[in-house]
Amino acid sequence: MSLDRIDIAILEALQQDGRMPNAALAEKVGLSQSACSRRLDNLEKAGVIKGYHARLSNAALGHHMTVIVHISLSGQFEKTLSEFEGAVKRCPNVLSCHLISGEYDYILRISARDLEDYERIHKEWLTAMPHVTKINSSFALREVIDRTAIGIRPSMA
């Protein structure tokens, strides 16, 4: 989908406030409410907007630890990857999972209450996942940045 300056303005505004009413969004980007609503529908149907959600504070919910986990599998056959990905999707503490190139096969970002909670996640989930041969865990000392908004450049149009 080709994005013009108005689409980009809509996306930037929604990244700042996903609950912005259509009337306020239309005014902000210089469109009528109906035109803005049509553009928004098109962006959603095209998959540019994947959804809307509340962003929760892990710390406020008692999850004070972020763990970055590198996983190696026994191979990269389609069945191996698929079985691992199915298992990782069921683990509620995994915030993100990416298939990567390099020494490891996957990188995970995990939220835990504390070290004991991570040990439980490691024992009950990570080591039980199919085809895992190596797990390397790093503990985040401090969060420097955690963006939810992507920079949208006009060159995308």
Residues 83 and 111 in one domain: yes
**pLDDT at site 156:** 47
For the segment 100-118, the average pLDDT, to the nearest whole number, is 98
Domain-located, residue 147 = no
What is the pLDDT confidence band of residue 155, given thresholds at 50, 70 and 90? low
Residues 69 and 43 in one domain: no
For the segment 15-23, the average pLDDT, to the nearest whole number, is 94
Domain-located, residue 151 = no
Give the structural domain span for 50. 5-54
Q: How many domains does the chain have?
A: 2
Separation between Cα atoms, residue 98 and residue 23, nearest integer Å: 37
Domain-located, residue 19 = yes
Quote the Cα angle for 24-29-35, to 5°: 85
Domain-located, residue 79 = yes
How confident is the model over 41-81, as pLDDT tens digits?
A: 999 999 999 999 888 999 999 999 999 999 999 999 999 99
Separation between Cα atoms, residue 23 and residue 33, nearest integer Å: 6
Residues 41 and 22 in one domain: yes
**pLDDT at site 157:** 44
DSSP 97-153: EEE-SSS-SEEEEEEESSHHHHHHHIIIIITTSTTEEEEEEEE-S-------PPP--
Separation between Cα atoms, residue 48 and residue 116, nearest integer Å: 39
Last residue of a domain, one of 54, 77, 93: 54
Separation between Cα atoms, residue 126 and residue 129, nearest integer Å: 5
**pLDDT at site 149:** 86
Cβ atoms of residues 1 and 44 within 8 Å: no
Mean pLDDT of the chain: 94
Domain-located, residue 41 = yes
Cβ atoms of residues 66 and 138 within 8 Å: no
Separation between Cα atoms, residue 115 and residue 120, nearest integer Å: 9
What is the pLDDT confidence band of residue 92, given thresholds at 50, 70 and 90? very high
Domain-located, residue 109 = yes
Could you tell me what percent of the chain has a pLDDT over 90? 89
What is the pLDDT confidence band of residue 152, given thresholds at 50, 70 and 90? confident
| pTM confidence score | 0.83
How confident is the model over 33-49, as pLDDT tens digits?
A: 999 999 999 999 999 99
Residues 48 and 80 in one domain: no
Dihedral (Cα; 126, 130, 131, 136), 10-degree rounding: -10
Query: Looking at the predicted structure, is the pLDDT value of residue 83 above 80?
Result: yes
Residues 28 and 78 in one domain: no
CATH number, domain with residue 32: 1.10.10.10
CA end-to-end distance (rounded Å), the chain:
9
